[in-house]
Amino acid sequence: MAKEGKGYNQSMFTNKDGYAKGGVNVKIPSQNIHLDPRSEGSIRGREYIAQGNSVDVRGTKAIRKEKKPVKATWF
């Protein structure tokens, strides 16, 4: 049973389970993970911590008036 609304049939945009059809697969980049130094000697297992990705960021408008690139780390 598809709901009718706003002049078009909703069933042409959804699968049988009600989720939207189609879509685009997005690749997620690696998180640059390293071994947590606190878990090196653990007998229970090893834990990993994301170190973040470093990129160059330039200022725009009033936030950063100097336009020189600055290193930023994204986690």
Reported in sequence order, the residue ranges of the chain that DSSP labels E, i.e. its strands, are: 4-5, 8-9, 33-35, 48-50, 53-57, 70-74
- Looking at the domain assignment, is residue 38 inside a domain? yes
Examine residue 62 and state whether it is found in any structural domain, yes or no: yes
10 Å CB burial of residue 75 (0-12, 13-18, 19+) is exposed
Total domains present in the chain? 1
pTM score of the predicted model: 0.37
- At residue 8 the predicted structure's pLDDT band, cuts being 50, 70 and 90, is low
What is the domain extent for residue 54?
23-70
pLDDT exceeds 70 at position 64 = no
User: CA 10, CA 21: separation in Å to the nearest integer?
Assistant: 11
**Residue pLDDT, tens place only, 9-48:** 777 778 888 888 887 888 877 778 889 988 888 888 889 8
pLDDT, tens only, 26-35: 887 777 888 9
pLDDT at residue 63, rounded to an integer: 67
